[in-house]
Amino acid sequence: MSLTLELKSADIDLDDEQFYRLCQANRDLRLERTAEGRLLVMPPTGWGTGNRNSRLVQRLSNWADADGTGLVFDSSTGFRLPNGAIRSPDAAWIKRDRLAALNPDPDQFLPLCPDFAIELRSASDTLAALQAKMQEYLDNGLRLGWLLNPQGQQVEVYAPGQATVILSAPTELSGEPVLPGFRLHLAQIL
């Protein structure tokens, strides 16, 4: 379970630059900031989750390399969402043309919401917190999201304007229409 630090009640308000410097000074910590200004400190995952997450990023990257229309990001990437939160999905993808239009500094957080994001539930994550995070992505422009829950052998699919779809023990997911041709085989992940 992540540790939440209430900064505003302590009269501390970190702007984007201060939060970035805090992250750089504490590279061994995985930090996120909520839209309300809370600081979330996530513990490292167990080796099983680490292995599953590396497979997610690998499979998404393999597809993205062949497709060529976007870039893949791992869980160390910070996305500054329109609501002010800075979040780090376990895996994410953004269309190249969106990045080119912004020409963002590659050493800073990306100032946009990913087109596609995956959250992989680890033993220390609460399902409710991850569901809220997926909804936050949707509210900030996400086009497709998957919440993978190995503990429950389920996947939750998030898309704008649609009810969340819950799949029990799927063996494969399709990224259509956001990720044309991407099929995630869930062997060794779910």
In terms of Cβ atoms closer than 10 Å to its own Cβ (0-12, 13-18, 19+), residue 78 is buried
Strand partners, 137: none
CATH superfamily, domain at 44-185: tt1808, chain A (3.90.1570.10)
3-class state of residue 117 by DSSP:
strand
Query: Residue 99 and residue 78: Cα distance in Å, rounded?
Result: 14
Cis-peptide into 82, omega within 30 deg: no
Residue 6: pLDDT above 80? no
pTM (2 d.p.): 0.91
Query: Residue 67 and residue 50: Cα distance in Å, rounded?
Result: 26
The confidence band for 19, taking pLDDT boundaries of 50, 70 and 90, is confident
Q: Return the sign of the alpha-carbon dihedral for residues 174, 32, 85, 135.
A: positive
* Amino acid at the residue 157: V
Query: Residue 134 and residue 67: Cα distance in Å, rounded?
Result: 25
Residue 9: pLDDT above 80? no
Q: Note the pLDDT tens digit of each residue in 99-153.
A: 999 989 999 999 999 999 999 999 889 999 999 999 999 999 999 999 999 999 9
Q: Note the pLDDT tens digit of each residue in 78-95.
A: 999 999 999 999 999 999
Domain ranges in the chain are 44-185
3-class state of residue 125 by DSSP:
coil
* Backbone angles phi and psi of 33, in degrees to 5: -125, 130
pLDDT at 48 (0 to 100):
87
Residue 8: pLDDT above 70? no
Q: CB-hemisphere CA count at 13 Å for 17?
A: 0
